Amino acid sequence: MCKKIKKYFLFFGFILSILLTSDTANLFKVVYKGDPLCQENTILIEQKHDHGYDITVSRAEDWICQSIDIKKNGKLLFHNEEIGGYYFLSDNFEEHGNPFFFLPGNINPHFVFSKWTGGAHCCYSLHIFSLGQDFREVAAIEGGNSQPILKDLDGDHIPEIEVLDDFLAYLFSSFATSAYGAVILKYSNGKYYVAADIMKKPRPHSNLWKSKIYSWKNDLRKKGPEWPPPSLIQTMTDLIFTGNKKVAFDLIHSIWPPEVSGKNDFLSEYEKALAQSNFYPEFEKKLKLLQ
pLDDT tens digit string along 210-239? 999 999 999 999 998 999 999 999 999 999
- Predicted confidence band of residue 13 (pLDDT cuts 50, 70, 90): very low
Range with the lowest mean pLDDT among 1-15, 104-118, 215-229? Answer: 1-15
172 and 142 both lie in a single domain = no
Mean pLDDT calculated for residue range 22-32: 31
What whole-number distance in Å separates Cα of residue 92 and Cα of residue 83? 21
Least confidently predicted of 132-136, 171-175, 208-212: 132-136
Identify the domain boundary among 146, 172, 192.
Answer: 146
User: Is 171 contained in some domain?
Assistant: yes
Three-class secondary structure of residue 225 per DSSP: coil
How many domains are there within the chain? 2
- CB count within 10 Å of CB 6 equals 10
Q: How far apart are CA 277 and CA 179, in angstroms?
A: 13
Same domain, 124 and 216: no
Question: Residue 12: inside a domain, yes or no?
Answer: no
pTM above 0.75, yes or no: yes
Judge if 288 and 231 occupy the same domain: yes
CA distance 200 to 241: 7
- CATH number at 86 reads 2.40.128
Same domain for 137 and 158: no
Tell whether the model's pLDDT for residue 46 goes beyond 90: yes
Residue-number span of the structural domain to which 202 is assigned: 152-291
pLDDT at position 29, please?
30
What DSSP assignment string belongs to 97-122? ---EE--TT--S-EEEEEEE--SSS-
End position of a domain, from candidates 119, 146, 173: 146
d(CA 112, CA 128): 4
Q: How far is CA 173 from the centre of its chain?
A: 20
Last residue of some domain: 130, 146, 162?
146
Residue 169 and residue 127 share a domain? no
183 lies in the same domain as 87: no
Distances (CA, A) of 269 to 9, 71, 151, 171, 209: 43, 45, 33, 9, 23
Both 178 and 157 in one domain: the answer is yes
Query: Does residue 211 lie within any of the structural domains?
Result: yes
In the chain, beta strands by DSSP E: 43-50, 53-59, 65-72, 75-83, 86-88, 100-101, 110-116, 124-131, 135-144, 149-151, 160-165, 181-188, 191-194
Residue at 287: amino acid letter: L
Q: What is the pLDDT of residue 179?
A: 97
Residue 206 shares a structural domain with residue 104: no
The proportion of the chain whose per-residue pLDDT surpasses 90, expressed as a percent, equals 74
Q: Is residue 20 part of a domain?
A: no
Whether 24 maps to a domain, the answer reads no
Please give the average per-residue pLDDT across 154-163, as a whole number.
Answer: 94
Q: Based on the domain organization, do 186 and 78 belong to the same domain?
A: no
> Has residue 9 got a pLDDT over 70?
no
